[in-house]
Amino acid sequence: MQALVYHGPGHKAWEEVPKPQVIEDGDAVVRVDAVTICGTDLHILKGDVPAVTDGRILGHEAVGTVEAVGPAVRTVKAGDKVLVSCITACGTCRFCREGRYGQCLGGGGWILGHRIDGTQAEYVRVPFADTSVYPVPDGVAAEEVLMLADILPTGYEVGVLNGAVRPGDVVAVVGAGPIGLSAIMGARLFSPGRIIAIDLADSRLEAAERFGADTVVNNSREDPLAAVRDLTGGLGADVAVEAVGVPDAFEAAVALARPGGRIANIGVHGAPATLHLEEQWIRDITITTGLVDTFSTPTLLRLVAGGQLDVGRFITHRFPMEEFLKAYDVFADAAGTGALKVVLTR
């Protein structure tokens, strides 16, 4: 089969590799029908994720058709359409029993396209299939379900739920990439008073408006702290979501929260950020961090099937799988191409 293979920092190829087989009793082999690229894949290609080694097939998001299952698999069978989530769960360890699948101790967690071969391929082997894939609901397009493999649960769980967004809240979202936009979409479910999106790129702020931000601030031109304080009687946001992954954005998110406010960090950070405890100790703030667990995936699937979440709007570009390298170029040049999510199909 063909797959997108990582060959060390800066190197990747769409090349012929062996087709995966069922190895463990709980495995499923899934024929990939639709697959996408994540910002995290770009981090890997820069060499930021050293656990990913030469020869690894990338990708942790897919929708496909089950091709084969091991003898222990009970809930899916050959021919079923499934969502392959970015998080795999053994289902039995302490953390899985708490719904904290991202921290799975039994060999799951974020493994696809990281510690084992991933989804950017014609076929993928998914361990612990019973607790790691989700049936695609009838009447929902595969490419829409694909948006639930990573970005939607991440924005919802690590941004909106960790940030405890409540009706009437002012929510400031720093970074309006696919993850920040998912947090905006998820926050809307809770009837916030106002959503303020902050980004350096006008194209991303235009997207934020389409996704439901009430106010947008380009922080290359405008001071976001002054803008948020103007809108909140000088207090700051009830909830500040960090969806970038750089020190400046984290420090901005902390500054934007009101006394007693909540700061939900989503970004993957590669460098230390300063927490100004000499200013913050007195402000009663709560800071959360998190790796997505995907415990919300069944809820989000119901919301998509019920027409309450229009996730199709994330998809800006479509390619056949043979054009994987071109799709990477378009996705990596988001400022120039306006790309949010690219979908590759057979």
Residues near Zn ion (CB under 5 A) are 38, 40, 90, 93, 96, 104, 106, 108, 150
| CB 321, min distance to ligand NAD, A | 21
Which has the closest alpha carbon to 144: 309, 324, 331?
Answer: 309
Q: Which does 305 bind (CB under 5 to 8 A by kind): ligand NAD, Zn ion, none?
A: none
Region near ligand NAD per CB under 6 A, out of 62-70, 194-202, 254-262, 315-323: 194-202
| CB 77, min distance to ligand NAD, A | 30
Nearest 5°: phi and psi at 84? -100, 115
DSSP 51-112: TS-TTPBP---EEEEEEEE-TT--S--TT-EEEE-S-B--SSSHHHHTT-GGG-SSS-BS-B
Q: Which is nearer to ligand NAD, 131 or 154 (CB)?
A: 154
| CB 39, min distance to ligand NAD, A | 3
Q: Which is nearer to ligand NAD, 14 or 250 (CB)?
A: 250
Longest dimension (CA), the chain: 62
113 counts as binding ligand NAD under rule CB under 6 A = no
163 counts as binding ligand NAD under rule CB under 6 A = no
Nearest 5°: phi and psi at 59? 105, 135
CA-derived radius of gyration, the chain = 20
Q: What sections of the chain are H helices per DSSP?
A: 39-45, 94-97, 129-132, 142-146, 151-153, 178-188, 202-210, 224-231, 247-256, 277-280, 297-305, 324-332, 334-337
244 counts as binding ligand NAD under rule CB under 6 A = yes
179 counts as binding ligand NAD under rule CB under 6 A = yes
Query: Which of 4, 33, 37, 40 forms a contact with ligand NAD (CB under 6 A)?
Result: 40
Q: Which does 174 bind (CB under 5 to 8 A by kind): ligand NAD, Zn ion, none?
A: ligand NAD
Q: Which does 90 bind (CB under 5 to 8 A by kind): ligand NAD, Zn ion, none?
A: Zn ion
**Separation of alpha carbons 105 and 101, rounded Å:** 9
Q: Which tokens go with 2?
A: 């063909």
Q: Which does 106 bind (CB under 5 to 8 A by kind): Zn ion, ligand NAD, none?
A: Zn ion
- Beta strands 215-218 and 237-242 are unpaired
Query: Which of 49, 121, 145, 158 forms a contact with ligand NAD (CB under 6 A)?
Result: 158
Query: What is the SS3 assignment for 143?
Result: helix
Quickly tell me which residue has 């919300």 as its tokens: 296
DSSP letter at 304 equals H
Query: What is the SS3 assignment for 199?
Result: strand
Region near ligand NAD per CB under 6 A, out of 35-43, 58-66, 93-101, 132-140: 35-43
Query: Which of 34, 76, 183, 198 forms a contact with ligand NAD (CB under 6 A)?
Result: 198
Residue 280 CB neighbours (<10 A): 16
59 counts as binding ligand NAD under rule CB under 6 A = no
Query: Which position's Cβ is nearest ligand NAD?
Result: 177
Query: What is the SS3 assignment for 242?
Result: strand
Which string of b and e fits 244-272 if b means at least 16 CB within 10 Å?
bbbeebbbbbbbbbbeebbbbbbbeeeee
Q: Which does 273 bind (CB under 5 to 8 A by kind): ligand NAD, Zn ion, none?
A: none
Stretch 264-283 residues interacting with ligand NAD (CB under 6 A): 266-268
| CB 179, min distance to ligand NAD, A | 3
201 counts as binding ligand NAD under rule CB under 6 A = yes
Which has the closest alpha carbon to 342: 13, 38, 49, 73?
Answer: 38
103 counts as binding ligand NAD under rule CB under 6 A = no
Footprint of ligand NAD on this chain (CB under 6 A)?
Answer: 39-40, 43, 150, 154, 158, 174-180, 198-201, 204, 219, 243-246, 248-249, 266-268, 290-292, 334
